[in-house]
Amino acid sequence: MSSSRISEELRQALARLAEETTPDPVLLERVARWRRACGDAETAAQWQTWSLLPPSSEELRPALARLLGAIGENHQAVQLLSDSDQRHSWERLAVLLERKKFKQAASLQKKLLSDPPELAENDLVKLLNQWLEAEHFTEALNLLHPLLIAMQKRGDTLSSRLCCSMADLLEKQERFNEAQSWWTQAHTLQPQQVWPLMRLGYQALRQQQPTLAFHYARQTLKRDPQHAFAPELQRKALQAMRAERSLALLDGQEPPALPSFQACSPFPDECVLNCRTLVLVSLEDPNVLKVWADQLDSTAASQTRLYLINSHDPLWLEQQAQRLLPNTRIDLWPSWDPERHGDVDLVLTADPGERIPNTNAQIWRYDPQTENWNAQ
């Protein structure tokens, strides 16, 4: 909002608008020009519209009170918003916050939340921003949380913006586990938004789930290749996995020399016959892929798909897969997802604890102690 240093002509225009029953379009136009000159395009557009289609008193009073409060006419602003008028209670809260009367604002907010009047989402966000600008994070959370709970009880669909605000406020109080569900909900509502993905990635690192953190960083970079922080999150995740070969590839270097890889022996070659969709779970041996590649002719290879799940050297394994299966669609994923991976032909896993539900695929599990494959 602008400084209280305005012309006397404009100050008188605001005072007249506060007194008149029918607002003068010339005065409304003058306010629109002022707000446009201050760079406040949204407010300018609203007042410009009102100069053509005069607003009702219920529309004008709260908007005018905000402007009067901004230029220091606090008494007049509060007068416009009578305590007995519930429709303007939230506007009174906004004026108190504009005046930095935080103790009074907190008291009024608590009173309002006991039986909250209707509040549009944009107005809620503006109130939250006022608390945030004053660094009163607890009061911002005290405002948002009960309103979101009430919206959920009514069956309203929450917006991604409100879910992000809720999660961010919880994180400001280091309540990361509580924030996680709100970030997840925000991501579900708006999958292309990168902010929830990054916050979920940092939470995965805190929970010592580096494969999941890597996934979120990678998904962020797919949506925004120039993202400022996703590359560092990706690197930290690979470091936590001790993925030396992937880190070398990330730096444009040759991966460390491999030991003499032996195919997981004895590998049942026949199990990949007629396989078009293969899933490797926690399995880093590219020789398994070679066995599959050797079974495919050129026509079949173009119709195949490979899922690499819970890989602990993901970039390197993906590179090996691309080299061995250049025509195959390859998808890295952090964990088994029944909806995504249920309709596959064959699952090969080296993770004894990995549950693989809801699939009709063949499942072969490798036992590193006996060096045997066992059909499930």
Mean pLDDT of all residues in 294-304 = 75
| pLDDT of the residue at 83 | 45
Residue 230 predicted with pLDDT over 80? yes
pLDDT at 367: 81
**pLDDT mean over 73-88:** 62
Mean pLDDT of the 144-160 span = 93
pLDDT digits (tens, 9 = 90+) for 114-126: 988 888 899 899 9
Instruction: Say what the pLDDT of residue 3 is.
Output: 45
Per-residue pLDDT tens over the stretch 15-60: 888 777 788 889 899 999 999 988 888 888 999 999 898 888 777 8
Residue 20 tokens read as 């008149």
Residue 260 confidence (pLDDT):
54
- Asked if residue 224 has pLDDT above 90, the reply is yes
Predicted TM-score (pTM) of the model is 0.76
Give the ranges where the chain is alpha helix by DSSP (H). Answer: 8-19, 25-37, 41-52, 57-70, 74-80, 89-98, 102-114, 121-133, 137-154, 160-172, 176-189, 194-206, 210-223, 230-240, 244-250, 286-295, 298-301, 314-324, 338-341
Close Cβ partners of 360 (under 8 Å, ≥ 6 residues apart): none
Which residues pair with residue 331 across a beta bridge? 307
* Least confident interval from 65-79, 132-146, 218-232, 256-270: 256-270
